[in-house]
Structure 1
Amino acid sequence: MAATTAQAMGSLPSGLEICTTAPDIFYLPELVFGGLVWILVASTHVTPPNPLGWVMFVSIFCFVMTFLWMILFLTGCHKSSSGWAAADFIYHGLAVLFYLSAGVDLAFITMLMKAGDFKMYQIDISAVVFAFATTLLYFIHAILSAIRWKHF
């Protein structure tokens, strides 16, 4: 019989358990992909500044908050309460909305910049792809967090 790392749905993981349980296994990919969006947008010419400023805000905000959220789960500050399960779902749902709006803004700006510098255009396309991939990761995390919260 194979060993399982499944956790009871009515509890929140702490310590290194977050590296083996869904939805918490998505923390690291969210950080990596979100960090790539941040780096790629920061490496291009910021024109127009307002929509790309929103993209930078979203990528930095979600990166920092996800890192802090992961640290809180690693240290066990949540004490496996249902309030933390609800907060986990709310945060990841909000991150989905933020990243979706930022991805759409970034895609629109990238479309407008098609006639400009080809290298910057390629970097912007990469940022758009990673923005939507990050949105998907946060969406899956939000759905699994909602299921976990429901079973509390």
Structure 2
Amino acid sequence: MTEHRLEAVDLDAATLPSATAEIEHERRVAIFDLVEKNSFQPAEAITGPYRLKLSLQDNRLAFDVTGADYARTYALSLTPMKTVLKDYLLICDSYYEALRGSSATQIEAVDMGRRGLHNEGAELLTARLEGKVAIDHETARRLFTLVCALYRRG
């Protein structure tokens, strides 16, 4: 039986904006969690595991996927995802600010909104990859975190 999973994930350093300590931590955790447990099956691939490099190229999200018998780059327009990306990044900023001095109730309220937008972004990413790469919900959530890391402006 073949393993359709990611064994490595890299973010293109040339297109990755600088980040705060919190954001850098989220990137590292998302990559670690993604490599530890994921479901990633390119449509035409026969065997895994795969390596993934994410980058931004000409306002497109590039998924460069390689495996033992497989090499392909998928370029997805960011336009359909811009609203959820912007909203998610704004609420993340509010969440980090809340952590610095808000009550537990306020932090929980912001976090609920953040998780909802994160799920929405993961579902949108899954839909954008349909017919190209099959992923499960948890893989989509972690990938969405990394897409946000690339999308974030300064």
Q: For this structure pair, what is the TM-score category when the shorter chain's length is used for normalisation?
A: 0.3 to 0.5
Higher RCO (C-alpha under 8 Å, 6+ residues apart): 1
Is the helix fraction higher in 1 or 2?
A: 1
Is the strand fraction higher in 1 or 2?
A: 2
What's the TM-score once normalised by structure 2's chain length?
0.35
What's the TM-score once normalised by structure 1's chain length?
0.35
